[in-house]
Chains A and B, each alone.
Chain A
Amino acid sequence: MSSLLSRYRRALIAIVILLVVSPLFGVVGAELVGYHEPLDVAAEALGLEESSIWSGLLPDYSIPGLPEDWLSASMGYIISGVVGVLIILAIGFILTRLSGK
């Protein structure tokens, strides 16, 4: 694991930077413009309605129970990002171990 950290130091630093600035785009920016991607435009045109079956442990990259002001939402967004990155690295680490055998 430590060799992984040193070999991919630049990539990991880039990931940390992405996570730290992500609320600017994912929370603050999204509220300014209103998060609205082309899929929403198409769905609106057909009158499709979202009906969520499973909203996840951290729904929409937020921590359930945190206040809804932008600062808490931003913290929740960053923590969600860190959790996601760690889960993916852990899966990758396990698969790497398995593939090495």
Chain B
Amino acid sequence: MHIPDGFLDPVTAGLCYIVAIAFIAYSIYRVRAGVSPEVASTASILAAGIFAAQMLNWPLPGGTSLHMVGGALSGILLGPWLGGLVIFIVLLIQCLVFGDGGVTALGANVLNMAIVDVLVGYLIYRALTGVGGRSRRWIGSFLGGWLGIALAGVVCGLEIGYSPSFPYGVAVTVPVMGLWHLALGVIEGLITALIVDYISIRAPSLISMGGAER
């Protein structure tokens, strides 16, 4: 889902940058004071883990492939602000060091993966899981991971499909991106649920971090 340089209309790219910068600035403001060293090291490890997981491209029958994004997972474990910053760091390094995702498209990539995926995953998880129960946590994290990716795909389709000179592109790109990610996102949902379930058993204190609104 990493948009390269050249896919975006300059106006779209600029607007995405403004949204991304505003969100990142607000996230830094929100987490600035309230992060314990323990939470900060957990966030670092999670960022490294998500970066490594994104290197595994799963080739799928039908000539397409996908890799984990991890935004919903990050939001569920760390809350929307720190969770978004974790994905932002991953995207920044991918863009600057590995040329994965264009420099001009960084704002859009941050919007899709560090904002939409993180927020949708977090909100669905919070709404469905509530105070707990292992099965509710499973359902919440599965749907959060799945629909987070699907909506990120829709927003990505809006971005690449829209340009003032060719405004009807979205009629093509939104269904393509939305439907593919709705299908492929099931796998992201399963992985998200497995990891959240595993962590809730091995290290329950980590799960409650996202529980406190931060």
Contacts and interface: CB of A to CB of B under 8 A. Distances in A.
Interface of A: 4, 7-8, 10-12, 14-15, 18-19, 21-22, 25-26, 29-30, 32-39, 41-43, 45-46, 48-61, 77, 80-81, 83-85, 87-89, 91-93, 95-96, 99-100
Given A46-B173, A60-B98, A81 B65 contact: no
Contact of A45 (B6, B55, B57, B173): B173
A81 B172 CA distance: 35
A80 B98 contact: yes
A19 B64 CA distance: 22
Sorted nearest first, the 6 A-B pairs with minimum C-beta distance are A92-B44, A56-B99, A51-B6, A38-B180, A33-B59, A96-B40
B47 interface: yes
Nearest to B157: A42
Given A30-B65, A46-B160, A53-B103, A35 B57 contact: yes
30 contacts: A18-B55, A21-B56, A29-B57, A30-B59, A36-B64, A38-B1, A38-B181, A39-B1, A41-B64, A43-B7, A45-B172, A46-B169, A46-B172, A52-B4, A52-B6, A52-B99, A53-B103, A53-B104, A54-B102, A55-B99, A58-B98, A59-B98, A83-B97, A84-B55, A84-B98, A88-B90, A89-B44, A91-B93, A92-B89, A95-B44
Contacts of B90: 88
Contact of A42 (B43, B59, B177, B202): B177
Given A33-B65, A89-B44, A50 B157 contact: no
Given A88-B93, A91-B89, A100 B37 contact: yes
Give the interface SS of chain A, mostly helix, strand, loop or mixed: helix
Give the interface SS of chain B, mostly helix, strand, loop or mixed: helix
A22 B99 contact: no
B49 A61 contact: no
Interface string B86-99: 00011001111111
B80 interface: no
- Interface size of B as a range: 35 or more
Given A52-B5, A83-B97, A22 B52 contact: yes
A64 B13 CA distance: 29
A26 B55 contact: yes
Contacts of B202: 10
A19 B49 contact: no
Given A41-B64, A45-B173, A99-B40, A18 B100 contact: no
